[in-house]
Homo-oligomer: A and B are copies of this chain.
Amino acid sequence: MEGLTVFTEMLAAEVLKTTPTKNKAALREAKRGILDYLASAFAGREDAGVLKLLHAIEAEGGHPVAALIGQNKRVNRRQAALVNGFMGHALDYDDVHSDVRGHPSSVILPALFALASCREISGKRFLDAYIIGVEVMARLGQAVGTASYQKGWHNTSLLGGVAATFAGARLLGFTVAETQNAVGIAASQAGGLRVQFGTEMKPLHAGFAAQQAVQSIEWTQQNFRGIETAFDSPIGYLHVYGGKEADEAVYSALAEDWGKSWRISAPGLWFKRNPFCSAASHGADAALELAQLHLDIATIKKIDIVFPPNGDAALIHTCPKTGEQGRFSIEYVVALALLGQPFTLGNFGSTAVSVEAEKLIGKMSRSYDAEHIPDAQAIPKGRFTIVRITLADGSIHSREVSVPKGSPQAPLTDAELESKWRESAPNQHIAEQIMEAIRGLENAKASELGKWL
C-alpha cells in the first residue's frame, strides 16, 4: 500500500516507552482490576462451558505451560488465554469500561497471564502492560465510537484482541516494528457478533480475543509478517470496523494526551456488584429502591421501563426463558428485585425463569425518552433508567437511576471488592495469598501472583 501515514508506528512507540505504574491512581486501580477479574474468573470456574472447553483441549493436546484459573491444570498459552478469558466473562460478573462499551480485563489479563507464564517478568512490568492494554482498548472504543456496537459487533472481542496485543508487546518488550506487526495480525482476526449475547458464545468472545492476542504475539516472535499499518490504511481496521476514515478526530482519540492520565482510573473501571449485563444495573438499582416500598405484587397493573434511545441495546431479551438469558433482560432483573429474589449466581444460571417472574414480566414494557435529561454524572454519559409502577388503584411509584453502584462515580470500596473476591475464591488460604500477592505486585515477580491461579 502506498501513501500511508505512520500513526500505528507512533502509537506503538508511545505504548512501549511509558510506565503508567508511576501514576498512583492507575496503579491502585490496576490492582483492584486484577482482584476483580480473579473474583469473576474463580466464580465462573465451574460454569458448564469451562468443562466443554476443557474436553476440546484434552482432544487437542499441548504443552502444559500456563495455568487454567481454579482448575489446578496447565495447558498451552493459547488454550489458557481462551479458557481464562471465557471464565472471566462467563457470568458477566467482570469489569466494564464506559469508553469500551465492553469488558477489558477478561481479555487483557488472560492474555498477559498466558504470555507471562514460565517467563521472568516483573510484577511492575505486568501492571504497566495491563494499564496500557486498558488504555488502548478504551481509546479504541472512543475512536470507533458507537458505530461498531450498533452495527452488531461485540466490542469486548472486536477491540480487545488488538488492545491485548499492544499489552502483550509491552509485556515482552517488543520493538516498535514487532508491535506494529503483531497489532496487524490481531486486526485481521478481529470479530465477535453481539447476536450471541445470552449464550455461552458471549463469554467465549473474551477468550477468542485473548487467544488472538497470544497468537499475534507468538507468530510475530517467529517473524511471521503482515502489514505494519493496521491503523493507517484507508482499508485498515479503523475504517472497516469504525465505519469512517481514520481522520484527525480518530487519531486524537487514540493518541492525544497519552500518559497524562490513565483511563483505567479516569474515568475508571466499573466493578460489578451483580452477575448481569451492566446496562441493566441502573434499572436494577431503581427496582431495588422500589422493592423497599413493599408493594403488593398482585396489585401491580403495569411497569414501564424508560431508557434513552438505544440505552437498552445490550438487553436483547424481553421474554427470557432462563436465568442465563436473564443476564441480558431488564425485565428479568426488575422482576427478581420486586419479588425479593436476590441477584445471586444461581438466579442467573441455566434454570428456567419462574412462573411468578414470567407473570410479572408480562406486565412490563420498554419505552424511550430522547428529551429526558439525566444526572450530569450519568454513566455512560446520558444514560438513565426509570422504573415506573402503576398499581390497580392508579397510583404510580417511580424511581430513576443514572449512576449505579459499582460504577466509577459510585465505586465499590476496597472492602466491598475484597468481599466479592472472598465469596468467589475457592478457599480462605488462596483468597489471602492472592490478595497479598497483588498488594506487593509492583515489587515482586509476576510469577508470585501467577503461581496461585
Contact = CB atoms under 8 A, between A and B. Distances in A.
Interface in A182-221: 184-185, 187-196, 198-201, 204-205, 208, 215, 218-219, 221
Contacts of A62: 60-62, 76
A78 interface: yes
B60 A196 contact: no
B319 A2 contact: yes
Given A200-B225, A224-B204, A226-B201, A218 B2 contact: no
Nearest to A190: B191
A193 to B, nearest CB: 5
Contact of A49 (B55, B204, B224, B316): B224
A294 interface: no
A233 interface: yes
Nearest to A221: B56
A324 to B, nearest CB: 10
Contacts of A61: 61-63, 76
A305 B270 CA distance: 57
A52 B2 contact: no
Nearest to A187: B193
Contacts of A201: 184-185, 188, 224-227
A153 interface: yes
Contacts of A318: 2
A199 B227 contact: yes
How many copies make up the complex?
Answer: 2
- What 3 A-B pairs are tightest by C-beta distance, nearest first? A201-B226, A61-B63, A152-B235
A13 interface: no
Given A199-B227, A236-B152, A188 B184 contact: no
A396 interface: no
Interface residues of A, number: 59
A46 to B, nearest CB: 16
A451 interface: no
B195 A236 contact: yes
A59 B205 CA distance: 24
Given A195-B230, A201-B184, A225-B201, A1 B240 contact: no
B188 A192 contact: yes
Contacts of A302: none
Interface in A147-204: 151-153, 184-185, 187-196, 198-201, 204
